[in-house]
């Protein structure tokens, strides 16, 4: 066999089709590579509860990176360790306080798999309910009891830049923030210095796989560090242009089996 590689997969817009499914072709090639001794892992901005279904569907036995690196653990092996780097609760409450000067729809705090909504919002609760989290609604300044893994500010498009500027001006050393892809006008906040690359680095080290044998696939700005870090960073055909410019190569879109096409060629495998 070729030397062992670590294959890192973003979920939305990358491994998953627009219907949020793993295509049969992608599944077949990833299963084949796993059986050949390579390691396949997921690195996503999603919490574990809404990525677990895909972890089990692929029958993975690797650690998983969730919340863009703020939570890394091994679902099948507690002794591997759990790396959870939440935002300081006082910073989280300061951010809620500061948002009062801006217009926004809601602020959501996720403490691993529990969710806190600043305002009750059926539509948003519906989006986040995959995996049956415990949901608490009410002013986060009063109801949030633990340091959150991640915070989301849901706002209008024209408010995004102002809020992000405030976050950078006031909390630059403590937090990192990104904007979700359209159509969501959501600002996502995690503790400073975290990203998917930080997570996959820990996993690669535990498997003793050097950087040059890491292949990472992604489509959005939360994949930038991971693709930059990997020996082979592969942008999906539907990826943002900024990601394509840091990637080593671009494959087809998530609707065209981009991952499978790249891996079949790279490992010279033809799945009938």
Question: pLDDT value at position 272?
Answer: 59
pLDDT 10s per residue in the chain (272 long)?
Answer: 579 999 999 999 999 999 999 999 999 999 999 999 999 999 999 999 999 999 999 999 999 999 999 999 999 999 999 999 999 999 999 999 999 999 999 999 999 889 999 999 888 778 787 888 899 999 999 999 999 999 999 998 889 999 999 999 988 889 998 887 677 788 999 999 999 999 999 999 999 999 999 999 999 999 999 999 999 999 999 999 999 999 999 999 999 999 999 999 999 998 75
Question: pLDDT value at position 1?
Answer: 56
Exposed, middle or buried, 248 (CB in 10 Å: 0-12/13-18/19+)? middle
CA distances from 219 to 24, 102, 258 (A): 20, 30, 11
Secondary structure class of 233 (helix, strand, coil): strand
Question: pLDDT value at position 129?
Answer: 79
Q: How far is CA 117 from the centre of its chain?
A: 20
β-strand pairing of 64-66 with 71-73: antiparallel
Look at the block and give the residue holding tokens 């089709």: 17
The structure's pTM equals 0.93
Q: Is 36 noted as a catalytic residue in this protein?
A: no
Question: Token pair of 16, please?
Answer: 């998953």
**DSSP annotation string for 172-214:** TTTEEEEEPPTT--EEEEEETT--HHHHHHHHHHHHT--GGGE
Sheet holding 134-137, edge to edge: 134-137, 114-117, 106-111, 150-154, 186-191, 175-179
Q: Which of 10, 12, 176, 223 is catalytic?
A: 10
Q: Which domains does the chain have, with CATH numbers?
A: 6-83+194-266 (3.40.50.1000), 89-191 (3.30.1240.10)
C-alpha to C-alpha distance for 251 and 173, rounded to whole angstroms: 36
């Amino acid at each position: 066999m070729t030397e062992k590689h670590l294959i890192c997969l973003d979920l939305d817009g990358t491994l998953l089709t627009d219907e949020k499914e793993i295509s049969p072709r992608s599944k077949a090639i990833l299963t084949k590579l796993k059986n050949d001794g390579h390691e396949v892992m997921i690195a996503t901005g999603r919490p574990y509860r809404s990525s677990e279904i895909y972890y089990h569907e692929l029958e993975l036995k690797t650690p998983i990176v969730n919340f863009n690196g703020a939570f890394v653990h091994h679902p099948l092996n507690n002794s591997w360790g759990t790396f959870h780097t939440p935002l300081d609760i006082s910073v989280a409450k300061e951010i809620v306080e500061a948002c009062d000067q801006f217009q926004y729809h809601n602020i959501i705090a996720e403490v691993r798999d529990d969710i806190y909504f600043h305002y009750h919002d059926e539509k948003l609760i519906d989006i986040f309910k995959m995996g049956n989290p415990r949901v608490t609604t009410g002013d986060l300044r009063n109801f949030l009891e633990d340091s959150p893994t991640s915070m989301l500010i849901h706002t209008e498009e024209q408010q995004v830049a102002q809020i992000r500027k405030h976050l950078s001006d006031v909390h630059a050393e403590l937090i990192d923030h990104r904007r979700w892809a359209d159509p969501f006008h959501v600002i996502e906040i995690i503790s400073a210095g975290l990203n998917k690359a930080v997570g996959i680095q820990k996993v690669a080290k535990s498997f003793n796989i050097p950087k040059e044998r890491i292949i990472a696939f992604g489509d959005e700005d939360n994949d930038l560090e991971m693709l930059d870090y990997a020996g082979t960073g592969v942008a999906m055909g539907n990826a943002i242009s900024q990601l394509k410019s840091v990637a080593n190569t671009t494959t087809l879109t998530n609707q065209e089996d981009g991952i499978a096409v790249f891996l079949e060629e790279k490992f010279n495998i033809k799945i009938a």
